[in-house]
Amino acid sequence: MRDQLEAVRGEALRAVADAADLQSLETARVHYLGRKGVLTNILRNVSEAPEEERPVLGKTANEIKKAVVSAIEERKQALEAKVLEDQAEQDRADLTLPGRRPSFGHKHPISQVIEEITDIFAGLGFRVATGPDIETEYYNFDSLNTPADHPARDLHDTFFVKPGVVLRTHTSPVQMRVMEQTAPPVAVIVPGRTFRVDADASHSPMFHQVEGLWVDKGVTFAELKGALMLFSHAFFGKDTEVRFRPHYFPFTEPSAEMDISCTVCKGQGCRVCKHLGWLEILGCGMVHPEVFKYANYDSETYTGFAFGMGVDRMAMLKHSIDSIHHLYENDVRFLEQF
């Protein structure tokens, strides 16, 4: 029985050492130490051995059992550590792989152009003012020297919200709102949405304008020309030519439209400028004394100029966009180009 015990010891320890994974280790444990295990049986049978051998046998068998138990424990720890290691190796992140590039949004081309225009005038000392898109007829027309029976009202195809209330057809009503709130001098630049019943390749029922107003003692048409020329050079480039053509607006006198030399053909004549060499970009003039009356400004002491430019048109010119509607369809493939 002694020899048998020694053989079992060697066999069991080898089986434990050879167990390649936790499952085969458990199989070995059951085989030697389980309820019907080899060692368990031996220990159970110690009582049947000759009396004088029993103590030694019992002691040896217990020793072997202890050795096998601790060998199993050790092996188990090693195998568990290996499992964790394998897992870690599998989950390892390759830090040298290129990352996923986040896609950045950016400002809409219209917003970019509005910011650029207002920045240029801010540099000349104008502050930014705004007014409501839904406007009363009083601010949109009457106070701008355009009473209900005035033929110039027909120039604007107006969206009516209800009697007396319109979607503003231009940013000029903000001139009056600012003057009502501010004693002269004032210098404001007013970006905003405007609305007219109109739709083709170069007209959208909703479009954008930037209004400008400067009122002070001694402001003349020379200041108007100077400011707008400076603006044109800053926005379109130093070699841009400007010209003023006489025009009519009820709220300015004298009035003019300003053209710039065609940004595409430099004045030679092309499709964009309809072979004229010039592009109209804004309306302007000296503030009408009637308008000052509505604002409670003394037109004997103060003079001023105002202008209003079409932002959408300028964005189209700047980026060679052939239809205004591209600007409002929110097609990311289009917008991404700016």
Measured from the CB atom, the residue of 30 and 199 that comes closer to ligand PHE is 199
Q: What phi and psi values does residue 84 have, to the nearest 5 degrees?
A: -60, -40
Q: In whole angstroms, what is the distance from residue 285 CA to residue 214 CA?
A: 11
**Please, what is the minimum distance in Å from the beta carbon of residue 188 to ligand PHE?**
12
The answer to whether 313 and 202 are in contact (CB under 8 A) is: yes
**Please, what is the minimum distance in Å from the beta carbon of residue 102 to ligand PHE?**
41
**Please, what is the minimum distance in Å from the beta carbon of residue 283 to ligand PHE?**
3
Binding site for ligand PHE (CB under 6 A): 170, 172, 211, 249, 252, 283-285, 306-308
Measured from the CB atom, the residue of 192 and 285 that comes closer to ligand PHE is 285
Measured from the CB atom, the residue of 198 and 336 that comes closer to ligand PHE is 198
Query: Which residue matches tokens 């100029």?
Result: 305
Measured from the CB atom, the residue of 65 and 196 that comes closer to ligand PHE is 196
Q: In whole angstroms, what is the distance from residue 253 CA to residue 308 CA?
A: 14
**Please, what is the minimum distance in Å from the beta carbon of residue 308 to ligand PHE?**
3
**Please, what is the minimum distance in Å from the beta carbon of residue 211 to ligand PHE?**
6
Measured from the CB atom, the residue of 251 and 278 that comes closer to ligand PHE is 251
Give the distance, in angstroms, between the CA of residue 62 and the centroid of all CA atoms in the same chain.
75
Q: Which residue is nearest to ligand PHE (CB)?
A: 308
**Please, what is the minimum distance in Å from the beta carbon of residue 284 to ligand PHE?**
5
Neighbours of 156 (CB within 10 A): 19
**Please, what is the minimum distance in Å from the beta carbon of residue 96 to ligand PHE?**
59
Neighbours of 64 (CB within 10 A): 21
Give the distance, in angstroms, between the CA of residue 326 and the centroid of all CA atoms in the same chain.
19
Measured from the CB atom, the residue of 18 and 157 that comes closer to ligand PHE is 157
Query: Which residue matches tokens 């092996």?
Result: 75
* E strand intervals along the chain: 127-128, 134-136, 160-162, 165-167, 186-195, 206-216, 242-249, 252-261, 278-287, 303-310
The answer to whether 1 and 53 are in contact (CB under 8 A) is: yes
Measured from the CB atom, the residue of 29 and 170 that comes closer to ligand PHE is 170
